[in-house]
Structure 1
Amino acid sequence: MVFISVHADNGGDVIFCSSDDVRFYIRCQDLEYLTEGFPAGDQISSSEVVPLAEKASTLELLFQFTQRNTPLPDLDDVNFKQLMDLAEAAEKYVVHSAIRVCVMRMKDFLDVEHAEEIFNFAARHNGHESLIFAVAPMFVGKELEDVAYIMPADLYIPWSMYREQWLKILSHLTCPLDVFNPNSKKKLWRTRILAAKREIMANPQLIHHLEELIELEKDTRGPKGDDDMNAVLFLWRDGIVEQVKRMRTLKSFVLEHRQRKAVI
């Protein structure tokens, strides 16, 4: 095996070895002061090498948060995979400063591609409701059975109510034009509305961009009336847009749920 000594010249009196055989020399007093998950100094001899399950690249970042009187790394150059590996290690070894910085950095990756992994991390580790609230608009389309066993128990009822309002609006995304006397324009609108609904199901955040997904030409608006196709479409779409504007956040449902529980 090949060992590389990292921080060997900093007076470290505890030796850790990564899963890929890199040794880290860390000051025991710093670990006891800044972390809660590493073995205490009196449990480790000065000559003992403590194996850790994480790779050197993760530990190199993590141990930067365990040195007193040194600036914390900002993680600006860390990619998503590296960030999540670091966050899991920080939770495992209870390195509070690293946890805080990781959670802040995760908010730079809030998109459909990373939503599920961020949600799963936040749900597994208590105290990260801000991440769940932030990712909720992207994750609300998930089936309840997919989140029921990872969702914090205190959030299950609020999440169900939050998701229900999204489903109700989604159910209204059906073409409002009558099916009688079909013509090419009606068929085109049904196709466009169905395509918009599919886009929203794939990326729930798009429900807030309904006017762009279902674009209507204002100069074609005819007189209000059931027999005027444009008037019907405008009335239908604008009504759904108003419903979307009234949608409540997950956080509001959570606060209401806790207030109600407090008075029971």
Structure 2
Amino acid sequence: MVSLEPIVCPVRDCPIPIDVMLRSSENFLIGAHKANLSHHSDGFPDVDAVSDSSEVVDVTESTETLKLLMKFVHKRPYPNVSLLQDNVLLDLAMASEKYMVHSAMIACSMCLQFTAQKYPIRALAYAVQYGYAEIMDAAAPFTVFESMETVENGLNSESALFAWVGQKRRFEKGFGSN
């Protein structure tokens, strides 16, 4: 079911005409601008790639995540990501990496570096997947008391799990455990 609300840009008072529509995972349509997507990201198709302005582009992100992400592809003040709930911040961080919205990538990664202790396994998985050593360093110490099963379920790859096991062993040796 598609939303019956008018399709608008999520940026308040945006004067730019909508020329592409994004359909969220909940089937809500969000208005966007091909030129903005092209100029402010490296992950959306180029401005000339979508020719039909009535075309709908299906994406896997939630409506909330897409609305936040679209605020980073405008020449306006960006949202304060430090005020976002944990899962919303992580979802935005993942979407910003997927679509390579650099302004959102840096805002989210900096915030995650200082809040990784709140959700260390998800932060660690994100950091390993996208190569943020500072976030890995911030999150890893808060995961050493987690069970192997919990961490294995939370991390995205075997290499991340092996890195975690190495970190846990170093931690345990430092405290005289086996």
Matches within 5 A, 1:51-90: 51-67=58-74, 69-90=75-96
Q: Tell me if the contact between 2:3 and 2:28 (Cα under 8 Å) persists in the aligned partners.
A: yes
Q: 1:94: which partner in 2?
A: 100
Structure 1 position 123, deviation (Å): 1.0
Q: Aligned pair 1:132/2:133, yes or no? A: no
Structure 1 gap ranges (5+)? 174-264
Matches within 5 A, 1:168-247: 168-171=173-176
Count, aligned residues = 166
Give secondary structure in 1 for the equivalent of 2:45: coil
Q: Tell me if the contact between 2:41 and 2:100 (Cα under 8 Å) persists in the aligned partners.
A: yes
Larger radius of gyration: 1
Q: Aligned pair 1:117/2:118, yes or no? A: no
Give distance in 1, aligned partners of 2:85 and 2:3: 27
Query: Relative to structure 2, which stretch is displaced further, 17-26 or 48-57?
Result: 17-26
Give secondary structure in 1 for the equivalent of 2:158: coil
Give distance in 2, aligned partners of 1:152 and 1:37: 28
Q: 1:6: which partner in 2?
A: 8
Give secondary structure in 2 for the equivalent of 1:110: helix
Q: Looking at secondary structure, tell me which structure has more helix per residue.
A: 1
Give distance in 2, aligned partners of 1:21 and 1:165: 47
Structure 1 position 152, deviation (Å): 9.2
User: In the superposition, relative to structure 1, how do residues 2 and 171 fare at CA in structure 2: closer, same or farther (>3 Å)?
Assistant: same
TM-score computed with the length of structure 2 as normaliser: 0.78
Give distance in 2, aligned partners of 1:159 and 1:129: 16
Structure 1 position 94, deviation (Å): 1.0
Task: Quote the sequence identity (%).
Answer: 27
Give secondary structure in 2 for the equivalent of 1:171: coil
One-letter amino acid of the counterpart of residue 136, structure 1: A
Give secondary structure in 1 for the equivalent of 2:42: coil
Structure 1 position 139, deviation (Å): 2.5
Q: Name which of 41, 47, 53 aligns with 1:41.
A: 47
User: In the superposition, relative to structure 1, how do residues 114 and 63 fare at CA in structure 2: closer, same or farther (>3 Å)?
Assistant: same
Spell out, residue by residue over 1:91-137, the C-alpha distance to the aligned partner (whole angstroms, 9 max, x if none). Answer: 111111111111122234332x5111110111112x31110011222
Q: 1:192: which partner in 2?
A: none
User: In the superposition, relative to structure 1, how do residues 29 and 159 fare at CA in structure 2: closer, same or farther (>3 Å)?
Assistant: same
Give distance in 1, aligned partners of 2:19 and 2:134: 37
Query: Could you say which structure has the greater relative contact order, defined with CA pairs below 8 angstroms and 6 or more residues apart?
Result: 2
Q: 2:158: which partner in 1?
A: 149
One-letter amino acid of the counterpart of residue 6, structure 1: V
Structure 1 position 172, deviation (Å): 6.0
Structure 1 position 165, deviation (Å): 3.8
